[in-house]
Amino acid sequence: MTTASDYSEKIPNNVELREDRRLQRALESWQPNFLNWWESMGPTLPTQDVYLRTAINVGREGWAHFGHVAMKDYRWGIFLAERDPGRQIGFGAHKGEPAWQKVPGEYRADLQRLIVIQGDTEPASVEQQRNLGATAPSLYDLRNLFQVNVEEGRHLWAMVYLLHAYFGREGREEAEELLHRNSGSLESPRILGAFNEETPDWLSFYMFTYFTDRDGKYQLGTLKESAFDPLSRTCEFMLKEEAHHMMVGTTGVDRVVERTAQVMVENDTDDVAALGAIPLPVIQKYLNFHYSVSLDLFGGETSTNVANYFTAGLKGRWLEGRRQDDHQLTSDSIMVDALDDAGDGQPSIGQLEVSALVGLNTDLRREYIADCQGGVNRWNKILAGAGLPHRVKLPHIAFNRRVGAFAGIEASPDGELLSADEWAARQGEWLPTDVDKTYVRSLMRPVHERGKIAAWIAPPRNGINGKPFDYDYVHLA
């Protein structure tokens, strides 16, 4: 079922907003608050206009428009994927029943919580990235940063629409709160850990868009399965935009590794810091950090919350429809990573059999880890292609964890358990130190000239939307 896209309204949408004046008014009164937030917490680099993709519809025959727009005039709209009127719930206790068009009273609180957590991450990432424009390595990268930022803004709109349309006064209050919490704030931080970390340099940005946006891909994938049809349709469309964010991260790290490898080979040295590239051990440390904080975003290895979400039909599994089981899991089990304590006070890292429902965060995290390994394989291929024996790798699942089974212990990237003292003495070998961060930051000088690129990163293979690398992607103010 297609609903025509209305692009003439204050808030572009394909949800027939004009048919519901109350909702339209409520969202129109949230809009200036959003714009104030964007002005005060969004990108700081002044620009005239940016070559951006704007979502204008959801159909197969083209859903986006590309063109130079002033960022404050970006048309943040509300777009849900097309409705399938015959859609049935695919898992949990309500499997086979028609998908819900309204929120069932008994699941209201849980659904609202999931939507708020999802919504909270979107503006958080914009806040984390707000100063990066000042040090962009090229106009192409600058444009991609802003594209990611405006789309995260649109994803906030997507969640706020659901809160306003389906959760009454409480939903409207939560929508306000989404603009009041801030990344890194001491009084009112963002909800999930990774979204209070800094993104102070472009290596962090690429790692964030590779590892943390990828958590977004997997979480949205599970919410796309939701019995609550408006949430499912919203997430389906968000995933379409998310693909570009993945591309920015994947090719961003590719290009850093490529440049480092090139400088290593040309100068026959591992010590590329003196030559203006980012040393491989520093890249590995950034990878270790962003991967481990992103693993935390999946919640505990075992969780009754996730068991309840699944049974209720609120949150499914990654590619639920392709799973070859009963989609209810009431009598299945799964091995999850766990800390074994043999009773002698010497814990070790092992596995534990638990009910499949309680282990669903682990199930999703494993899908994610397999996907992350794909990036590592790519980067190692670049190193191998340059004739280098060096390799990067994903650290052990227990490394640097602050949530879940390993929150209370420390482990090396190889999974060796460490005492607190050993960890304190050695963590600088594995996580970026102040010296590493200062070095990376020292490379972050803006290259805002058309067709030019910073020396620590290789140019991209392709431009955006068929445009060349040296296109005028951004006009600075």
Instruction: Taking the CA atoms of 413, 414, 420 and 423 in sequence, report the sign of the dihedral they define.
Output: negative
Residues 56-115 that bind ligand BYC (CB under 6 A): 114
Near ligand BYC by CB under 6 A: residue from 272, 280, 282, 306: 306
Q: Which stretch binds ligand BYC (CB under 6 A): 13-21, 27-35, 83-91, 210-218?
A: 210-218
Is there a contact between 28 and 11 (Cβ–Cβ < 8 Å)? yes
- Pattern 104-143, binding to ligand BYC, x per CB under 6 A? ----------x--xx--xx--x------------------
Separation CA 185–CA 384 (nearest Å): 42
Q: What residue number has its CB nearest to ligand BYC?
A: 299
300 vs 460, beta carbon nearer ligand BYC: 300
114 vs 145, beta carbon nearer ligand BYC: 114
For residue 364, the number of C-alpha atoms closer than 13 Å in the C-beta half-sphere is 32
Q: Which stretch binds ligand BYC (CB under 6 A): 161-169, 299-307, 331-339, 372-380?
A: 299-307
Residues 340-379 that bind ligand BYC (CB under 6 A): 361
Is there a contact between 467 and 52 (Cβ–Cβ < 8 Å)? no
Near ligand BYC by CB under 6 A: residue from 42, 216, 249, 375: 216
Separation CA 229–CA 213 (nearest Å): 23
Near ligand BYC by CB under 6 A: residue from 192, 334, 411, 447: 192
27 vs 297, beta carbon nearer ligand BYC: 297
Is there a contact between 195 and 183 (Cβ–Cβ < 8 Å)? yes
- Rounded to 5 degrees, φ, ψ at 348 are -140, 160
213 vs 236, beta carbon nearer ligand BYC: 213
Closest approach, Cβ 29 to ligand BYC, in A, equals 25
212 vs 288, beta carbon nearer ligand BYC: 212
Q: Which residue has the tokens 């949150």?
A: 315
Residues recorded for the chain: 477
Separation CA 310–CA 359 (nearest Å): 11
- Pattern 314-333, binding to ligand BYC, x per CB under 6 A? -x------------------
Q: Which stretch binds ligand BYC (CB under 6 A): 76-84, 301-309, 332-340, 375-383?
A: 301-309
Query: Cβ contacts of residue 313 below 8 Å, gap of 6+?
Result: 89, 91, 92, 93, 94, 95, 107, 226, 227, 228
| Cα separation values, 246 from 4, 148, 189, 211, 216, Å | 29, 10, 25, 9, 10
258 vs 301, beta carbon nearer ligand BYC: 301
Q: Which stretch binds ligand BYC (CB under 6 A): 181-189, 297-305, 348-356, 409-417?
A: 297-305
Say how many Å lie between the first and final Cα of the chain, rounded. 43
Nearest to 389 by CA among 261, 253, 258: 261
**Paired tokens of 135:** 């040090």
Closest approach, Cβ 89 to ligand BYC, in A, equals 18
306 vs 453, beta carbon nearer ligand BYC: 306
Closest approach, Cβ 298 to ligand BYC, in A, equals 6
Closest approach, Cβ 346 to ligand BYC, in A, equals 26
Separation CA 260–CA 412 (nearest Å): 25
Nearest to 208 by CA among 149, 290, 278, 151: 290
Q: Is residue 152 a contact residue for ligand BYC (CB under 6 A)? A: yes
Residues in touch with ligand BYC (CB under 6 A): 114, 117-118, 121-122, 125, 152, 192-193, 212-213, 215-216, 219, 296-300, 303, 305-306, 315, 361, 403
